[in-house]
A and B are shown apart, each in its own frame.
Chain A
């Protein structure tokens, strides 16, 4: 089976909160120096899901990422985990695209790659977290979509997905090709096995520009954006924390208990 995984390179979400800075003018985040960007956590799990499917059913995994040329790193990471091939979609015209624009670019790249049985995406990106690209992409490709998967298996010509809902799970089936968005509950991504790590380092990752995938300018025009960010701010939420003390930990606990008794 052929699986295509869409991944995004994001600012490391685990940077110290005090280091998080934005530029209100450009409405962009200023990445702190020396902090390498990482693969978005959910997308990494989508790669993991793809690898598990490949382990079981054989096949080929192709990873694509839209972003700067540095996104080669996340493609290589995916390859080191078990993906076979990967492409970076990078073009000045792709910068700051909204969810529709992103889905459009991905759909053109997927059409260029050709036949596929499954497209996997993370449930949302760890940065802007719009949580829409997968669904819009499925609509653009005209294929069924199942969101928030925590287990994916192939059942004949169908894909069978266990999906997370607030009070438990749902099991769904859809004919392939389908698109599935993956949630973190799928489990820890694998540590890239030894040899793959070295192999991925040497792998050439082609960079496709707008012209390479036949993306039309009108779809990339910021004037036609479906949504627009008009402001970005860091909320000030510093509250005064009252540190409860006591001669012993037990006494501190008792003092805290007294405070809390009034609250509940």
Chain B
């Protein structure tokens, strides 16, 4: 006795069942294949390494729903809702296979139905169904009544919520009416059987009960199939694409930029540099577009968006996906007929200008907040950086401020040069006792890499001098390059001028090797990230540590003693490239913790979810869009909110940005911005 074994108007239920299924597959599979082929338009990239690790990642992120739960805050509980929906609906997904597919479709109900297994399973489904329904109500209230800024009011979302809710209602109808018809009202599954006993008590005729149950079952089945057809045609494609996207995520680095293979450039038909058209993206970038559920977490954590600029990571992805689906069929035809005759329409539009604006591309500070909060590990930044590469390397198209910076880097080896700087790179070494490589007889194998800003800009030089004095006091044997130091290349890379970065990297690595450097201490997190994560791709084999890591270690070893009282309420601004990019956020807190009398106040956005100072991604030099709030002013408001009297940081850009923010907000009297080294030095015993 099952809905499928009955006949309807003389047609066996099985036939109806399988015809419906085949029609659905006929609509689903070609679409899925189409999307797969679109993904294959992207360039190759190996994301099949370390398979075991990838599986582990996926299982441990997706099944426990860490992906959405990680971003739950007291102000945004939606992640819990998603997790409940996921777990609840997963139970139903299993039931669709077991109870509908195997039991009904294959007619194996006699093995499944009627036992303790069924009762148990249905009990789970009952609870799951309630959870799913509640979470749908909650979602609807949030989206349409509470309206948090990250969500958009769309019909698409409403339709899906209605569908999911209806599936649950239909499930309960099927089960409760069916049980009532059979008179099974013995308590489990609890809700269905409660409704069943109500129906029995109400005296509904058995036939009606059975008919409603069958009707609800068929409707349920139909809804599942509609859902299946609808998913790959909507933003809910993320249901299918998220898990693979997490599987294929970048395992080591936040932003994966591969060296441009120079040999390829010398070939007859050199490849297009960077990303110009949609098909210049890598296949994983296209999978990213499928995986995006437009949850908008990136939208509300993007400093460019928050400060009123036109860039929104969510919209950035949406525009590209829309364009992909629009241009895709044309691009695929071109590929398949093999004629190679490229017409402009088939070739696809240029992304920058036609799909996303140049302003958007240049508004990004590469802070990584979007990627950090993204539940499905989408990599926004490299798409954007590769678009910058194309603009700069091929079209010479960039804001003038970016060009001035890049020209300075090229001719003078640092982005600051020009009348702004009254110093030369090595000047600071005259004011402190320090070994300069090539000038002293000893050449320690530990190098302090100062960075352009720490060497050239007066305010940051103070921090550099502090750092050197502390290292001396702690007995660290190190040297500096002085005049011979050059830019690490990071600003050029973030501004898309990839080759300049490549040149800087190669030259610096050669210098390190010539001087037999084994370990490098950096003070600038941008240098740190470049040297530590990016230089190895160019042949570097050095240990790179940030001074905060070194200090924490020296304190543990007792080599660095913090004994002076520092009466202060201190907040710490995590530099993106240190905390988010490299996970160094515990060390600064450990150091502050050891400063006598210093009280620590955590900022609301901190550690890996810190908020950008506005200076990354070349934005120390690239002008912010006119008519928008400055990012550092947004951040300064958050600093002021903490009530701290000292805002410490450990990045030269952040320090400058914070100081400018303090000045502009007129809180000079009550708030000081300091590099953490300066706070540490104040706490050290002055001998």
Interface residues of A (CB under 8 A from B): 12, 14-16, 18-19, 32-36, 38-39, 77, 188-195, 197-199, 201
Contact = CB atoms under 8 A, between A and B. Distances in A.
B248 interface: no
Contact of A35 (B393, B422, B424): B424
Contacts of B270: 195
B412 A194 contact: no
B88 to A, nearest CB: 52
Given A36-B411, A198-B265, A193 B393 contact: yes
Nearest to B409: A191
A194 B422 contact: no
B142 interface: no
A38 B426 contact: no
Given A16-B423, A36-B413, A197 B484 contact: no
A179 B646 CA distance: 62
Nearest to A190: B396
- Majority secondary structure of chain B interface residues (helix, strand, loop or mixed): helix
A34 B424 contact: yes
A16 B497 contact: no
Point out which of A36, A193, A194 has the most chain B C-beta atoms below 10 A from its C-beta. Answer: A194
A229 B407 CA distance: 33
Interface stretch (B498-506, B536-544, B563-571, B581-589): B498-506
A193 B411 contact: no
B406 A33 contact: no
Given A14-B418, A36-B413, A191-B403, 20 more contacts: A12-B412, A14-B412, A14-B419, A16-B422, A16-B423, A16-B424, A32-B424, A33-B426, A34-B482, A36-B412, A38-B412, A189-B407, A192-B410, A194-B393, A194-B498, A195-B273, A195-B393, A197-B500, A197-B503, A198-B502
B424 A15 contact: yes
Interface in B374-410: 389, 392-394, 396, 398, 400, 403, 406-407, 410
Nearest to A197: B499
30 contacts: A14-B417, A14-B418, A19-B424, A32-B424, A33-B424, A33-B426, A33-B483, A34-B425, A35-B424, A36-B411, A36-B413, A38-B411, A38-B412, A39-B411, A77-B410, A77-B411, A190-B396, A191-B392, A191-B410, A192-B410, A193-B396, A194-B389, A194-B392, A194-B394, A194-B499, A195-B393, A198-B499, A198-B503, A199-B265, A201-B503
A44 to B, nearest CB: 9
- How many chain B residues sit at the interface, stated as a range, is 35 or more
Given A32-B424, A195-B265, A198-B265, A188 B403 contact: yes
Given A18-B422, A35-B424, A197-B499, A191 B413 contact: no
Contacts of A32: 424
A32 B412 CA distance: 13
A191 B412 contact: no
Contacts of B412: 12, 14, 35-36, 38
A190 B397 CA distance: 10
Nearest to B406: A191
B522 to A, nearest CB: 20
Given A193-B396, A194-B394, A198-B265, A16 B500 contact: no
Contacts of B483: 33-34
B116 interface: no
Contacts of B484: 34
Interface in B132-150: none
A128 B499 CA distance: 33
A167 to B, nearest CB: 28
